[in-house]
A and B are shown apart, each in its own frame.
Chain A
Amino acid sequence: MANLGERVLAGDIRAASRLIRNLEDGIPDTDLIMKDIFLKTGKSHVIGITGAPGAGKSTLTDELIAAFRKKDRSVGVMAVDPSSPFTGGAILGDRIRMMRHAEDKKVFVRSMASRGNMGGLSKAVGESIHVMDVLGQEVIIVETCGVGQQEVDIINHAHTVIVVLVPGMGDEVQALKAGLMEIADIFVINKADRDGAGKLYKEVLSVIEMSSRNCGGDGWTIPVLMVESVLEPHKFAASVAALGEKIEEHHQYLVANNLIEARIRNKTAAELNEALWASIMQPVLNELNAEGEFEMMVDQLMKRHIDPYTLAREIAGRYMKRSPCGDGSSADQS
């Protein structure tokens, strides 16, 4: 296992892809590899691309890769597609749009299934970003599943969030709603040749003008970029190149104003949470399950012989040096 970490640190793509898979599959002791990797991360600019299914996220990602490669930046891509709630299987098709970069050694694309995660990403995305970071990908693009209004997990992972909209998805009230419409650092109106693009542009602009984030938030004025049809390749490439410039500008803005760390603080806190869960709760649960005790406790609860709160305190008392119950004065510290 340690060998895998060394290979990743030496830039081995195959090892990196395997490590990402171990993270996805929840293979035990992967934390022993990640601990060496974590300390070397934090160099990449992470860009989130989110929007409805079919909005053009993958095609946009492909052209963005090209734009960044023109500037000789190495690019990592994590493209998430949904897992079946019935079979657990998935068709990961984002890559179809990006195949022209397949042989470019400085582009590493990894498809990921959401595996039941509801926020538009896979649970493994956060740690996988670290893997791509340590591989030396200067830019990491995370393309979410096609999302609705409230799958906004991407804000916990990306420095720069791009929300991709297309004309014809509803009236201006849709643009006023909470959730997805609030998280953009940059709006893209894709397929701008279509009817209604101009109207959507105005609606989004008026929402931004009303937004407190724009006026009193981090001070960044959220731009709205029109991206031309992919059927007109030159116009399309030019508008995505402009998007690439805006992305860089946003990154520079975050750096210049010391806002980068605030962006990633939530993610870092969540990582600590998950690590605590994995090292404390998971072993306890494993032990309870191995002895069959967990099911026996459920039986007791079903018969109303005892309540879950007393049981939980009893078990906590077994494992924790300092009792979590105490005299009750610490109840609000949970």
Chain B
Amino acid sequence: MSRKLRVLIAKPGLDGHDRGAKVLARAFRDEGYEVIYTGCHQTPEMIAAVAIQEDVDLVGLSCLSGAHNYLFPQVTRLLKEEGADDIVVMGGGIIPEQDHAALHEAGIAAIFGPGTPLDAITGWINDNVKPRD
């Protein structure tokens, strides 16, 4: 048997714009991943706890509220505290170009903005994220 990629899609913070997250969840399903979707208004603590309970390989964070500089690094920090920094974290939403470097520094492996073709995202995942052994 082979490993199946497990992905958590989460929306941290006060942000109800979940269309993008749902479209991605669906695209990932079609790519053959198992996608756990948690809905909106999650705290970084909840997201980190779920990532661990679900043994995911990848966490996709979506944020359109502007709070990404706080929320995204919180998630990577909490995962690290739990010894779970082998879980890859990527982000999406409205993330200004000038914030990318700091987010990468904080452990966000990739950032995808509006208009990114879905196969660019799944392509990146297929190249960069493998189910952990």
A residues whose Cβ falls under 8 Å from a Cβ of B: 13-14, 17-18, 20-21, 24-27, 83-84, 87-93, 95-96, 99, 102-103, 108-111, 113
Contact = CB atoms under 8 A, between A and B. Distances in A.
B98 to A, nearest CB: 32
Nearest to A111: B36
B49 A90 contact: no
B37 A92 contact: yes
A113 B29 CA distance: 11
Nearest to A109: B53
Given A87-B30, A99-B39, 15 more contacts: A13-B52, A14-B83, A17-B54, A20-B55, A21-B6, A21-B55, A83-B34, A87-B31, A89-B33, A92-B35, A95-B37, A99-B42, A102-B38, A102-B50, A111-B54
Contacts of B42: 99, 102
B19 interface: no
A103 B49 contact: yes
Contact of A26 (B1, B29, B30, B52): B1
29 contacts: A13-B52, A14-B83, A14-B84, A21-B55, A25-B2, A26-B1, A27-B1, A87-B29, A87-B30, A87-B32, A89-B29, A89-B34, A89-B35, A90-B34, A91-B29, A92-B36, A95-B38, A96-B37, A99-B42, A99-B50, A102-B42, A103-B43, A103-B45, A108-B53, A109-B53, A110-B54, A111-B34, A113-B4, A113-B34
Categorize the interface residue count of chain B.
20 to 34
B85 interface: no
Given A27-B1, A92-B36, A99-B46, A13 B30 contact: no
Interface in B93-132: none
Contacts of B34: 83, 89-90, 92, 111, 113
